[in-house]
Amino acid sequence: MNENEFVSFFEDVNKLLGEDPDKISGGLKAAEKGESSLGLLRLVVAKTIALKKDEEAITCFIPLTNSKNSGFGSAGYTGMYIPKSQESKRYLNEFSDLRGNRLLVITTHRIIYLTVIEFLDDDSQYISYDFSNVKAMNLQPRKIEKSIKITSENNSYFVLNIATLNGHVYSDILAPIDVQALLNASKKNLNLAHF
């Protein structure tokens, strides 16, 4: 499975949001038994749904890849990882990916960032930015030099910055399609309404 199929899977999941979580994830048991790459991604969705707190709903999954987003934190030395579980080893074989496929999960209460392979190994391996702890969030439009090999229409990108009250800063490059997904999520989520 390649990056485009990874992205397409989560675009399809986004279309189903609001329906029964078991219908989206295919159920945790079905995902665990799934022999296909989609079974692994369903498992990621099921594990993500299990992170929800009371009264929390997932409004959007934004798939991040090295070719359409920043690869600075997931390539070279920072891209090294040793898979531990059977699922993560299977993921490595099927996706030929260590830390390139990541997710931003937008909920009604927070933004969750996770690296897929690490999350398959340990579902506590994610970073959560509760909106109550966010000092500032913004999107800054940018043009990327043509020499940098990231695909986007007109080399247009946006930098997403999230600064928390305790001084932690998250930053990543979002493609126009990711920004559109974030804006669509903000229509369903008052915590993102200022986008």
- Which of 19-33, 78-92, 145-159 is modeled with the greatest confidence? 78-92
49 and 156 Cβ atoms separated by less than 8 Å: no
Rounded CA-CA distance 151/66 in Å is 10
Confidence band for 31, pLDDT divided at 50, 70 and 90: very low
pLDDT of amino acid 4: 79
Per residue in 78-105, pLDDT tens? 567 888 999 999 988 888 877 788 899 9
**Helix 3-16 and helix 37-49, axial crossing angle in degrees, nearest 10:** 50
**CATH numeric code, 3-192:** 2.30.29.30
147 has a pLDDT exceeding 70: no
pLDDT of amino acid 151: 52
**Helix 37-49 and helix 86-95, axial crossing angle in degrees, nearest 10:** 130
Task: Give domain limits for the chain.
Answer: 3-192
pLDDT of amino acid 100: 80
**Which strand (E) or helix (H) includes residue 92?**
helix 86-95
Please indicate, yes or no, whether the overall pTM of this predicted structure exceeds 0.95. no
Query: Which SS3 state, helix, strand or coil, does residue 63 take?
Result: strand
Per residue in 54-84, pLDDT tens? 889 898 999 988 777 665 555 555 567 888 9
